[in-house]
Chains A and B, each alone.
Chain A
Amino acid sequence: KAGVTQTPRYLIKTRGQQVTLSCSPISGHRSVSWYQQTPGQGLQFLFEYFSETQRNKGNFPGRFSGRQFSNSRSEMNVSTLELGDSALYLCASSPTGYRRSYNSPLHFGNGTRLTVT
């Protein structure tokens, strides 16, 4: 079974621009979560999507948004980029269902490293 696929692997953008990151989950996984990882803050939860609906959201500004398509693929968008948005963005899928299963692990993709200059 193929793992979680994230594209692109690397991005360099300028302040003020916007960016879209893509994530394809493991086949059969309907839950997709996004995390931001920085050396200072560690892994910070952005949001989770399930069946094309945002099920949960972390404490990030509205510049960070996402969506999920009917095939469970997900995209994350960051508008008006700031220098502090430079980070590794990780997507993770999970086999959890409508009733969240507490023992469903997250399976991570290789991440997209975003650099904002």
Chain B
Amino acid sequence: QKEVEQNSGPLSVPEGAIASLNCTYSDRGSQSFFWYRQYSGKSPELIMFIYSNGDKEDGRFTAQLNKASQYVSLLIRDSQPSDSATYLCAVNNNNDMRFGAGTRLTVKP
């Protein structure tokens, strides 16, 4: 079992829709969870992080965490073509940060 698992996609949504990206992790000791966006040919850039159960909102982005289910998600509201990228879920277990393989999102105009 991989430490951090994401659906590789591609996930395709129309412009203006909500994109839902999911991530599961295996280490119950994990303490914080990060979402990164990576455009093709570029390095990952931080979108937001969460460490408490529940929802955390930042603009059009909402991160959701359920530690009992070892599940974290990212919702992107009013998706724009500029949101088309690979989204990486990262899990910090206080030793290092481990990444999922990423979900490729395409937002169609």
Q: Which residues on A are within 8 Å of B, measured CB to CB?
A: 33, 35, 41-43, 45, 48, 56, 58, 90, 100, 102-103, 105-111
Contacts and interface: CB of A to CB of B under 8 A. Distances in A.
Contacts of B98: 45
A110 B49 contact: no
Interface size class of B (residues with CB under 8 A): 20 to 34
Nearest to A3: B43
Interface in B1-42: 31-32, 34, 42
- Which of B34, B44, B49, B94 gathers the greatest number of chain A CB atoms within 10 Å? B44
A69 B79 CA distance: 43
B45 A108 contact: yes
A2 B69 CA distance: 39
Interface of B: 31-32, 34, 42-46, 49, 51, 88, 90, 92, 94-102
B97 A33 contact: yes
Nearest to A42: B101
Contact of B42 (A41, A56, A110): A110
B44 A42 contact: no
Given A102-B32, A102-B51, A105-B49, A90 B96 contact: no
